[in-house]
Structure 1
Amino acid sequence: METNKVKQIHSFGQSIWLDFIDRAFIGDGRLKALIDDDGVRGVTSNPAIFEKAISSSDMYDGDIAELSKGNKTNEEIFFGLAIKDIQDACDLFKPLYNESNKGDGYVSLEVSPFLALKGEETYQQAIQLWKEVDRENVMIKIPGTQPGLDAIRRATAQGVNINVTLLFGLQRYEDVALAYIAGLEDHLAAGHEISHIHSVASFFLSRIDVLIDPILDEKGLADLKGEVAIASAKKAYEIYKRVFSGERWEKLAAKGANPQRLLWASTSSKNPAFKDTKYVEALIGPDTVDTVPLETIVAFRDHGVAANTLEQGLDKATEALARVKAAGIDIDKLTQQLEDEGIEKFNQPFEKLLASIEANKGK
């Protein structure tokens, strides 16, 4: 029997996590089947994913009614619903978490998107959610905004597993990696073990190309369409290898510290002219994670090609970004625009979700 193509990815050191969560999906065995058949090794969620899950199902109505009996805000009701799903998914992944020596088996829950530019509130809510979920294989998602950097460091210093989300630019990614390292140093200095702390930094891909490809057309760089995000990811991996080596890191590694793995997000192809497994295939490599929507997992299972591609064509990646810069395209400005738009893209479904909870209260 042919080896499952999605499972093959893990033989190159990359973990596939599912970018989807839904109460029915957990309860009816479909998530367990993905773990067993496709080798899926974790789950990520975000406000848009929960909005679809809660507004399109009556499975949450009973809990909404129950949670509505107190003085809870709609946001508190949402987190009550979400935490239950996250706990169930964490329990499902616990055997894998143990088998992988805590390397995988994580389920991510995001702080309120309304807090993306509020560092102190982000930190406080991250600690609160960590305690309420009460599972060692949960990751709390914190946006990698400028105000989020201090929250990432402080939460890591409290021993919380952090999934840093919404990363588009290389400098911000490096700042995030250094915030994680500083958090480990703080935790160690306070007299704690650090070997149990795990973290990922989620670098978003296809949205970069959606924004930049039309500009490339205008600048006569059409041959680079669909390549800038992949080139940026390859350069991010170079940063990862540099930051998580050397004297400062080795001191932490000697105490059992785990590197903050790069996670590829937004890996479904938004351009129908591209192969639907393009971004997954281009960035398979050791010590990384790829969080993939269900339809992309299905597509890869059918016709994906698993190979160790992440460090192939590094010179080409460097050249591509140099050509973009030489054409007068300010990638830093564009990645900041993507961060701003990304915050809004999570705010909108979250507002819709809270309105849906309000409407369901009276049922």
Structure 2
Amino acid sequence: MSALKAISQHGQSVWLDYIRRDLLLSGGLRKLIDEDGLLGLTSNPAIFEKAIGGSADYDPALKSLVAGGLRDPAGLFEQLAIQDIQQAADIFRPVWEASSGVDGYVSLEVAPDLACDTAGTLADARRLWAAVGRPNLMIKVPGTPEGAEAIRQLIAEGINVNVTLLFSRPAYRAVAEAYLAGLEARVAGGGAIDRIASVASFFISRIDAAMDAEIAARGAEAQALAGKVAIANAKLAYEDYKALCAGARWQKLAGQGARPQRLLWASTGTKNPAYRDVLYVEELIGPETVDTIPPATMDAFRDHGRPRASLQEGTADAVAVIAAVERLGLPLDAITTRLVTEGIKLFVDAHDQLLAAVARKRDALASQAQPA
């Protein structure tokens, strides 16, 4: 059995953090589903920027759209992205059906510059949900305070949500609250909640990348924490998840058919070459969770990953790590706040670069179509 497929034996779903048209058309995605037990897919502006801007895969479709009179780069990108997401969702539809809607989801993000705009996020999410028109779509919404209010409303409307850019436990608890409130509002309005799905994407490696820089400037006690903070932070977020699921509020909703908002581990590629390249995948495997894994890390885990039920190991050690962070005055809270801002900017910049690449390709295709 593939090491990736073996992860599912411990209750975790493996999703792919990548999309590209060639993967969809070549049968590569179906192969990952069949051989590795892949159960879903996530995308973001940076992934689309590399896929569309860095390949010729999209040129025929772009040429067709331009010939049809569409010239706005944002409109062109959106049409290309919707085509990819629809096709990926159709490929995953049997997974969605076989799992009774637990897995088989494909995620598409609202415009990144709307991260602090509740009304704008709601409008964009509703529009994308209708345009894609697939029940196994998740709309990605940043887990900012403004995003949390949009999440509550979208869940109340029956729209599946992938909450992204979560770095801190308080931010996770806020969006978990938004999910519960959205379900409660839907029940109050007479709506069904048994087919609504959501994940809360909790980022991992970026935390260690930032914390290790702080740790390096401290003494030996601090340096013993290198490479441990992100995993400890995630394990305690999972304890928050379990506590929420044990509560009377959730139990009432579960009795009405609600599905838990699973924690999804994002940014699980190892950034520090001194660490094991599958560190974050190996150490966060546990029930009712998702890991969205980039292709290179997926290849590495397939080759030498060691799946085990690791997420609920060492909880006391995780508590001790975070206690040491606080005792030593390491700026975890400031870093997680900064990483949200930086994450939004990275996606905005990638989106801007993507639109510029689309505009360049549009102009090149238009010039090729001109008579000599």
Counterparts of residues 22-33 of structure 1 (less than 5 Å)? 22-33=20-31
Please give the alpha-carbon distance, in whole angstroms, between the structure 1 residues aligned to 2:106 and 2:9: 22
Equivalent-residue separation in structure 1 for 2:98 and 2:6 (angstroms) = 18
Match of 2:81 in 1: 82
Alignment of 1:222-237 (within 5 A): 222-237=223-238
Q: How many residues align?
A: 361
2:142 paired residue number: 143
Structure 1 stretches of 5 or more lacking a match?
A: none
Give runs of aligned pairs for residues 184-195 of structure 1, distance below 5 A: 184-195=183-194
Which structure 2 segments of 5+ residues have no match?
366-372
Provide the residue aligned with 2:368 in structure 1: none
Match of residue 97 from structure 1? 96
SS of alignment partner, residue 109 of structure 1: strand
Shift of 1:61: 2.1
Of 44, 63, 66, 1:65 maps to 63
CA distance in 1, matches of 2:301, 2:4: 6
Match of 2:286, SS? coil
Is 70-79 or 190-199 further displaced after alignment? 70-79
1:129-166: per-residue Cα shift (whole Å, max 9, x none)? 01110000010000001111111111111100100000
- The residue type paired with residue 335 of structure 1 is T
Q: Which residue of 2 aligns with 1:43?
A: 41
Displacement after TM superposition at 1:104 (Å)? 0.5
Match of 2:369 in 1: none
CA distance in 2, matches of 1:244, 1:13: 16
Contact 2:137 2:160 in 1 (8 A): yes
Aligned residue for 2:179? 180
- Distance in 2, Cα, partners of 1:114 & 1:304: 37
Measured on the aligned residues, the alpha-carbon RMSD in Å equals 1.0
Pair 1:289 & 2:287 matched:
no
Amino acid at match of 1:162: V
Is the alpha carbon distance of 1:334 and 1:93 closer, same or farther for their aligned partners in structure 2, counting shifts above 3 Å?
Answer: same
| Structure 1 residues 35-59: Cα deviation after superposition (integer angstroms, max 9, x where no partner) | 0001110000000000111012223
What residue is the counterpart of 1:327 in the other structure?
328
Counterparts of 1:109 and 1:66 in 2: how far apart (Å)?
23
Deviations 1:254-284 (A, max 9, x none): 1100010000000000000000000000000
Match of 1:4 among 2, 5, 9: 2
Contact 2:71 2:362 in 1 (8 A): no
Deviation at 1:70, TM superposition (A): 4.1
Q: Which amino acid aligns with 1:224?
A: L
1:240 equivalent in alignment to 2:212: no
Task: Tell me if the contact between 1:219 and 1:327 (Cα under 8 Å) persists in the aligned partners.
Answer: no
Distance of 1:73 and 1:240 partners within structure 2:
43
Measured after TM superposition, the shift of residue 71 of structure 1 is: 5.8
Deviations 1:73-126 (A, max 9, x none): 322221111010000000001111111111100000001111111111011101
Q: Segments of 4+ in structure 1 off by > 6 A? A: none
Q: How many Å apart are 1:251 and its aligned residue? A: 1.3
Whether 1:106 aligns to 2:105 is yes
Task: Report what 2:305 is aligned to.
Answer: 304
Residue matched to 1:129: 128
Aligned twin of 2:269: 268
Distance, in Å, in 1 between the alignment partners of 2:128 and 2:259 is 22
Give the structure 1 partner of residue 208 of structure 2: 209
**TM-score, normalisation: structure 1:** 0.97
Q: Distance in 2 between matches of 1:158 and 1:70?
A: 34
State the AA in 2 paired with 1:17: W
% same residue: 49
TM-score of the pair, normalised by structure 2: 0.95
SS at match of 1:224: coil
